[in-house]
Amino acid sequence: GAGVSQSPRYKVTKRGQDVALRCDPISGHVSLYWYRQALGQGPEFLTYFNYEAQQDKSGLPNDRFSAERPEGSISTLTIQRTEQRDSAMYRCASSFGRAADTQYFGPGTRLTVL
């Protein structure tokens, strides 16, 4: 079946602009996770959802970052007033939502802020 998909795959924006990154999880997956990955580093947790409820947003770096999953399926990560330090690969993962279950990752969105 289809895996996790993310769009756009690449996004170039100017400093100060808002961006919205989309994640479409695997069908039937209850949990959805957002991570950010800098070059040469492992992914860094941002936030996660069970259904439409945001369970943990402790990894969001500041209030310019927000995420939503209004219908418990597709999720959008929004970054307002982007800064150059926001440039990174943004990765989404989904899972069935059981304890200690496997997270499956999408291809990521490469964000470049000029």
Chain positions contacting other proteins, by CB under 8 A: 4, 31, 33, 35, 41-45, 48, 55-56, 59, 89, 91, 93, 95, 99-108
Pairwise CA distance, residues 56 & 58, whole Å:
6
For other proteins, give the closer residue by CB, 10 or 78: 10
For other proteins, give the closer residue by CB, 30 or 80: 30
Kindly state the smallest distance separating residue 81's Cβ from other proteins, in Å.
Answer: 26
Kindly state the smallest distance separating residue 89's Cβ from other proteins, in Å.
Answer: 7
Of 88, 111, 78, the residue nearest 41 (C-alpha):
88
Kindly state the smallest distance separating residue 114's Cβ from other proteins, in Å.
Answer: 20
For other proteins, give the closer residue by CB, 19 or 32: 32
| Cα dihedral across residues 35, 36, 42, 47: positive or negative | negative
The values of phi and psi at residue 53, to 5°, are: -85, 130
Pair type for strands 109-113 and 10-13: parallel
Element (H or E) spanning 50, and its range? strand 44-50
For other proteins, give the closer residue by CB, 35 or 65: 35
